[in-house]
Structure 1
Amino acid sequence: MSYLDYKVTTTPTGFRKILYLNWPLVFLLTAVACTGFLMLYSVAGGRASIWAEPQMERFGAGMVAMFALAFVPIWFWRSISVVSWVVCVLLLVAVDLIGDIGMGAQRWLELGPLRLQPSELTKIALVLTLAAYYDWLDISKVSRPLWVLIPVLLILIPTGLVVTQPDLGTAIMLIAGGGIVMFAAGVSLWYFAAVIALVVGLVFTVMESRGTDWALLHEYQFRRIDTFLDPSSDPLGAGYNITQAQIALGSGGWAGRGFMQGTQSRLNFLPEKHTDFIFTTLAEEFGFVGAFSLLMLYALIVGFCLYSALTNRDRFASLMTIGVAATFFLYFAVNMSMVMGLMPVVGVPLPLVSYGGTAMMILLMAFGMVQSAHVNRPR
């Protein structure tokens, strides 16, 4: 083997792996998280101890986990993929049986001092499993019906369990994230066209089921659809959240009202101002410039992930990276669309900005896997 061949086929070892980390991705994630700390400090009225400090501690722990996972060989993630999917499905079943109920939904498991939301873990486990499946499958079989049915079942089984919680936002993300991995693996576009036609038919059926004994959604979910179509129809009831969010977005203007000067958040008009609707506080205080800047940070994170995936010759690592990037994209795309009134309110947090532990830790661990794929790619 020549020296050139050796350089191409080996991967870095030991502490040399630190040099091969995707450092721009690390800095971008830190910048987004710092934006979140700033906004949590603001919505708490200038007190860091309520939300900002716990979020900083979680981010610090998440970054340690990300760096630790970055040094794990890529074959390890491939080997545990199916096991992770099975464990997540069992946890989702446990949620249905003994899960903790909060805000009208049964989504959490109380494990001693730990409060876990298994649906967040499922998003990443599904990506790992689909990436491993298409890495194993011969590329000539990717679009054959039998081999398409298997990943469809891998997606639909956890999705069905999540819908019963109910958690429509996570269900949408599981289907969309899984679909993106299938698309990246080379599944024929005709299948996606069929799915789109099926979705249109399903939406029609769901709307027709309202008020019947076989209603496919809960009444509060139907009200969310009504609110999405016409928020002014119930401005003090079901439409209150989105109405106040749109007021905050519009009042920010070009440059915003200034840090900690947002009236909607300071006077507690905004609902869930530290979680699902924190983007509206950012837009009100920093205006279009601040909101667009955060969007660009998100876009750069996705861009660096996709570049890493496209330059990685390991099929599993490439598909896994694309899947994590897609999941991250769906987080901020759904959240921003939700608070701007472009889609119904479904309770999806703004990644690394909204207050919360499970989503942040799971995302940073997922980026640790992305780093593992980047560090250990063949060179």
Structure 2
Amino acid sequence: MTANEHRVHGLDATDVHPDWPPLTTAEVAALLTRYPSLAPAGAIRWHSPRPLSAAALVDTTAGSVFVKRHHRRVRTAATLAQEHAFMAWLRQAGVPVPAVLADATGNTAVALGDWTYEVHAPAAGIDLYRETTSWTPLPDLAHAHAAGAMLASLHEAAEGYTAEQRDTQLLVARSELVEASDPLDTLAAQLPTRPGLARYLEQRDWRSELGATFAPFHSRLHARLATQPRLWTHGDWHVSNLCWSGAGPQASITAVLDFGLAARTFALFDLATAIERNAIAWLALDSDDAAHPDTARALVDGYRAQRPLDSTQIHLLADLLPLVHVDFALSEVEYFSAVTRSPQNADVAYHTFLRGHAAWFGTPAGQALFEAIRALA
């Protein structure tokens, strides 16, 4: 398969050429020589449509494995190892996270030239939503309830995991800006160590633009967030990152996938992210049913059936929603601007994602979603 044949999900829900070339059989075969129990590699059975890396399901002598490749500017072996350590902790605590396989030298992240690789054991169950585009709402309320309950179980399992924060800001769902007493000054302090983002922002009046984004929502957050216990979280709790025992309403979650955005934040941040990912049709905001309050309620109900939330936490959860995405959105601006060098995509991340998503919560539909969640208190 060539890069011209393979398509990935674009920012506007269309299929586009990938930023990164798809994995090839020769490339995978060379990689898996480092894994004696897997070599020789066989056919590539499926290429992931996710755009920020290249990944595929590969046949081996020991069964299928999931191979994922990152550019070294996005993920080093050390950065990936932080993610893998969190996954191992959760798996040992009973969360159904597929194992990341170690090569013959004991490493789960392999650096080869410009690339960093990881190889995962196959996920149990059915990858029911694997072709679902990000930012697509989940209409199945039973699955939303199950997803909320599994997220609560993950948070319970994460308690006691005390690793420091990720060593990167790039394509990670962190929460420093939303938690800061002055998010603009906090961002300004980060820019010397984020030159790609700094170059993008210096082309615009970012303090005025982002100040307008934060102003309607941030003042009621800072003091309340200071009381939230720190916790390593998933960061991308979309239904496409879960596998299932079946397609029906009684299906259970059999595997939790893709910890690429995981970071040390707090539990309500992760739950707000789950609502933002699964309960709003971001790619169809002009439609009459862009907001899916029933999905949001099902996620929260599933979560608190496993991990209780009091009324104060419910109100804080609602207030988080307009800004829960901002740290990650800026990391996408940085990625598109400095790594893939796509000014058009960087502008979409900045204007449509970062600023546009926050502004939507000021619309009647956004306010109605607020109220639907607050009513759960």
Bin for the TM-score computed over the shorter chain: under 0.3
> Is the radius of gyration larger for structure 1 or structure 2?
1
Q: Which protein is richer in strand relative to its size?
A: 2
**TM-score scaled by length of structure 1:** 0.26
TM-score (norm 2): 0.26
Specify which structure has the higher proportion of helix: 1
Greater RCO structure (CA 8 Å; 6+ sep): 1
